[in-house]
Amino acid sequence: MRHSVRSISLILIGFIALVVAMPSIATERHDHDGHFAKHHPRRDQVLDRAQRQNHRITREVREGDLSHGQAHALRLNDRSIAQQQRAAAKANGGFITKRQQKGLNAQLNANSRLIGH
């Protein structure tokens, strides 16, 4: 599935807007065991999705459905989402809130639609 540079640019603009909005999302502070916080289920879910999407991108390039340039842009999106997750977790003592998880998943959904199958 090929996507135009314009559609990828629009998605990138959306990601930038969400990045700017992320600090304003209400946060919850938790002071629990650092190991558990690092492997918190909400964090793992977001990062696992980003990793699965990276594998899908590789497969789509191999199958010829995505160009290398498109794959690079999509991987940058996923990397940005992972960085946002880390920043949110750092601000919350190792956790991300349900609201933050929902926002990150919305971004992953938008990126997923661009990847294709």
Segment 73-95, tens digit of pLDDT: 999 999 999 999 999 999 998 88
Q: Is the pLDDT of residue 34 over 70?
A: no
User: Shortest CA distance to 22 belongs to which of 116, 110, 86?
Assistant: 86
Report pTM.
0.67
Render pLDDT for 43-72 as a digit per residue (tens, 0 to 9): 999 989 999 999 999 999 999 999 999 999
Q: Are 78 and 111 in contact (CB under 8 A)?
A: yes
Say what percent of the chain tops pLDDT 70. Answer: 68
Positive or negative: CA dihedral 15, 100, 111, 84 = positive
User: Shortest CA distance to 50 belongs to which of 109, 117, 102?
Assistant: 109
User: Shortest CA distance to 88 belongs to which of 54, 35, 34, 42?
Assistant: 42
Q: Are 50 and 82 in contact (CB under 8 A)?
A: yes
Q: Are 106 and 17 in contact (CB under 8 A)?
A: no
Amino acid code (one letter) for 101: Q
Rounded to an integer, what is the distance from CA 90 to the centroid of its chain? Answer: 16
